[in-house]
Structure 1
Amino acid sequence: MRQKSIAVIIVAAGKGERAGGDPKQYQLVGGQPVLARTVESFLALPYVTSVTVVIHPEHEARYAALNLADERILNAVTGGVSRQASVLEGLKALAPSRPDLVLIQDAARPFATPEVIGDVVAVLEQYDGALPTLPVTDTIKRALDGRQVATTEDRSQLFAAQTPQGFRFGQIFSAHMRASTIRRQFTDDAEIAEWAGLRVAMVMGDRDNIKITHPEDFARAERILAGDNAMETRVGTGFDVHPFEPGDAVWLGGVKIAHDKKLKGHSDADVALHALTDAILGAIGEGDIGVHFPPSDMQWKGAASTVFLAHAGKLVLEAGGRIVNLDVTIVCEAPRIAAHVPAMRDVIGTVLGIATSRIAVKATTSEQLGFTGREEGIVAMASASVEMPRGD
């Protein structure tokens, strides 16, 4: 079987003014221009057939000064007045060779990993297009006037898009050509594909696959490059217990499980998520769940514990950290937990925006000893490993 040809278009035609100073794609990260790093991340992959860089017409000298040397790098292409127009110019340049697949990458994303790129390419065996995404962990509000909240979006259905975005060449070229004839600007190539009726799939993105846009993004990029030299792993533990009271279901790990009792507490009494939240907060030195959500505050009466977990995850991200792995043990005689573990891992992963492979949920009994053995309540213990910027 003939090996598919895979072309890459790197869009570097913007002025990059929001980053301050020189255009962001030519500024240095770790002593190397951002654009050079982006190009090299694709040249490192043997299955990439060609790389075409689309540049701003005023940046020809800057691009030439990069001295990018590889036989797979094609002549640079001058971009248009918008990102959409620039991508179309890149597609036009590739049209004579008609590659099987094309990957479209933002120049300002220098940290696309081989795993993310490979996942995008692999999905194109079944779909017309593919892009890496990350679950949205913040609550999203819609406001018609930019001030008053009109509605709250269902974040379980929201995902943040990254690049590279991959497509079958003929289909995305045709879609871009059609899109250029209407008075509408699309935010990315996947949106054009969706508009054209193509089937576009999502693969798991990478939190380090950042788009450098503002000056502070360069500091984060330096931390990513520094890796272990700039980051340290911290461990936190959590412990929680709730007694039973009359009811018909318990909440555990974000999953409602039918039972002849329920857990007593100010919120939904999800003992597993409470222990997990405390473990994350402990790892980053942010106290415990009671500090952030005091039981004396009636707004948390009956609240879903996923709210508490999401808050802890947000604090990790705001501090420049990432969750490495989580481990929860639930101790009870009943209800039976094993059948619900996959759903619990899915809930936790979605709330925190991490892969379920980083989450362990286990259950055990106390061999009918103590208050759990007498089925008076449930205990949960948790640990969290969190990678954080190295401090003093």
Structure 2
Amino acid sequence: MRQKSIAVIIVAAGQGERASAGGAPDPKQYRNVAGVPVLQRTIQAFLDHPAIGQILPVVHAGHAERYAALGLSDNRLLAPVLGGGTRQASVLEGIKALAPLRPDLVLIQDAARPFATTDLIGDVIAVLDQYDGALPALGVTDTIKRSLDGRLVVATEDRNQLHAAQTPQGFRFGQIFSAHMRASTIRRQFTDDAEIAEWAGLKVAMVMGDPNNIKITHPQDFERAERIVSGDFAMETRVGTGFDVHPFEAGDAVWLGGVRIPYRAKLKGHSDADVALHALTDAILGAIGEGDIGVHFPPADMQWKGAASTIFLKHAGDLVTGLGGRIVNLDVTIVCEGPRIAQHVPAMQAVIAETLGIATNRIAIKATTSEKLGFTGREEGIVAMASASVEVPRGD
């Protein structure tokens, strides 16, 4: 069975006047929440969903430079189109632009809702197997009063029948295209796309919304958005340690910290036997609970014979990045009588920094001797110890 193609329209053509009260220089979709522009967060939420095929931003005619300044790049992200004078008109421009691609489904998302989760997006998509349209919604908990003049109460609504709509709202593309085209021929303005679908006679179902899927509308909403980021995506620090030892064998150089150092012997091992990078890799893996280097690169696997240990280190770093984390600092101690290490430390730091994509000032490399004691003192091999501090999203 052919997988349905799914496109997303991000409606970002508004001026955001209410959220800009108080003199904010940028429209709300270009203002930062925890250092990241709102529109960028919104787009990334859909880039993170594997079922999404294309994402089309609809932007204001005067915001082209602001959008370009975001520097977003992904092969699923289409060039933005210009919106119309109303949200309804902007959505229609987006639908028209998608028409040549003929997606099966389309999701329509407000740019000012940056916290749509992968699960929420998936729930909306799933409902479209049975219904013409779908939207996330939350039941109303407050008592709702009706007033004709904004002052005198004339009725109390049954809140059990009331729900607050969110986006993304999803539809079968051909149906919502037809509904929007028909709606554009009348003077009535609709509040959202689900209302247009209802007016056109389409069956629209609700899925459970998310309280954090807020729409940034007023200045105080930015404060709530900051709290959502710091609360739901707060980072925690984890620490791991690594230890490795390799004996010498006949040779003319050793690999330490990714640097080839001429010496009267080399280190014995299945890979390049870089004892420093092995300890460092284990420290990073330990910090994120991913076992040790042997689990990921078994010594019995011949593809790793003679392999550069930077491969192992990069893999560990990629695992941290994949968790949404970052490496805070690394500390390596090398214990040997020889070779001399100090002059090679800057080169080692540079290799490790490039491999992991971090700054050299986050990497400490130290060398010491064992005062002629033990196997290192007898110059039979080298020991390395390492520690790694990483930040990852806080778990349960």
TM-score by length of 2: 0.58
- Could you say what secondary structure the match of 2:96 adopts? helix
Tell me what 1:370 maps to. Answer: none
Tell me what 1:25 maps to. Answer: 29
Residue identity opposite 2:48 in structure 1: A
Q: What are the Cα deviations for residues 64-118 of structure 1, in whole angstroms up to 9, with x where unaligned?
A: 0001100001110100000000000000000111100000000000000111110
Deviation at 1:17, TM superposition (A): 1.4
Deviation at 1:187, TM superposition (A): 0.2
Whether 1:53 aligns to 2:57 is yes
121, 124, 146: which one pairs with 1:117? 121
Please give the residue correspondences for 1:211-222 in structure 2 after superposition, counting only pairs within 5 Å: 211-222=215-226
Whether 1:159 aligns to 2:163 is yes
Tell me what 1:382 maps to. Answer: none
144, 154, 159: which one pairs with 1:140? 144
List structure 1 segments (4+ residues) > 3 angstroms apart after TM superposition: 228-231
* Aligned residues between the structures: 231
Cα distance in 2 for partners of 1:228, 1:66 equals 24
Tell me what 1:297 maps to. Answer: none
Residue identity opposite 1:19 in structure 2: A
- Could you say what secondary structure the match of 1:19 adopts? coil
Cα distance in 1 for partners of 2:100, 2:119 equals 30
Whether 1:11 aligns to 2:15 is no
Tell me what 2:89 maps to. Answer: 85
Please give the residue correspondences for 1:194-209 in structure 2 after superposition, counting only pairs within 5 Å: 194-209=198-213
- Could you say what secondary structure the match of 1:103 adopts? strand
Q: What are the Cα deviations for residues 106-142 of structure 1, in whole angstroms up to 9, with x where unaligned?
A: 0000000111110000000000000000000111111
Cα distance in 2 for partners of 1:122, 1:128 equals 11
Cα distance in 2 for partners of 1:229, 1:164 equals 21
- Inter-CA distance 145–68: structure 2 relative to 1 (3 Å threshold): same
Tell me what 2:323 maps to. Answer: none
Cα distance in 2 for partners of 1:229, 1:178 equals 42
Tell me what 1:184 maps to. Answer: 188
- Could you say what secondary structure the match of 1:108 adopts? coil
Tell me what 2:101 maps to. Answer: 97
Q: What are the Cα deviations for residues 238-292 of structure 1, in whole angstroms up to 9, with x where unaligned?
A: xxxxxxxxxxxxxxxxxxxxxxxxxxxxxxxxxxxxxxxxxxxxxxxxxxxxxxx
Tell me what 1:193 maps to. Answer: 197
Cα distance in 2 for partners of 1:129, 1:67 equals 33
Tell me what 1:368 maps to. Answer: none
Cα distance in 2 for partners of 1:48, 1:7 equals 6
Contact between 1:13 and 1:78, CA under 8 Å: does it hold in 2?
yes
Tell me what 1:38 maps to. Answer: 42
Tell me what 1:2 maps to. Answer: 2
**Unaligned runs of at least 5 residues, structure 2:** 236-396
**Unaligned runs of at least 5 residues, structure 1:** 232-392
Please give the residue correspondences for 1:284-303 in structure 2 after superposition, counting only pairs within 5 Å: none
- Could you say what secondary structure the match of 1:150 adopts? strand
Residue identity opposite 1:131 in structure 2: L
Q: What are the Cα deviations for residues 192-227 of structure 1, in whole angstroms up to 9, with x where unaligned?
A: 000000000000000000000111000100110001
Deviates more, 1:143-152 or 1:83-92: 143-152
Residue identity opposite 1:28 in structure 2: N
Larger C-alpha radius of gyration, 1 or 2?
Answer: 2
TM-score by length of 1: 0.58
Deviation at 1:228, TM superposition (A): 6.0
Deviation at 1:229, TM superposition (A): 8.3
Whether 1:126 aligns to 2:130 is yes
Contact between 1:38 and 1:108, CA under 8 Å: does it hold in 2?
yes
Contact between 1:223 and 1:230, CA under 8 Å: does it hold in 2?
no
Cα distance in 2 for partners of 1:149, 1:228 equals 39
Tell me what 1:174 maps to. Answer: 178
Residue identity opposite 2:17 in structure 1: E
Contact between 1:129 and 1:166, CA under 8 Å: does it hold in 2?
yes
- Inter-CA distance 24–228: structure 2 relative to 1 (3 Å threshold): closer
Please give the residue correspondences for 1:183-332 in structure 2 after superposition, counting only pairs within 5 Å: 183-227=187-231
Contact between 1:132 and 1:205, CA under 8 Å: does it hold in 2?
yes
Contact between 1:10 and 1:52, CA under 8 Å: does it hold in 2?
yes
Residue identity opposite 1:2 in structure 2: R
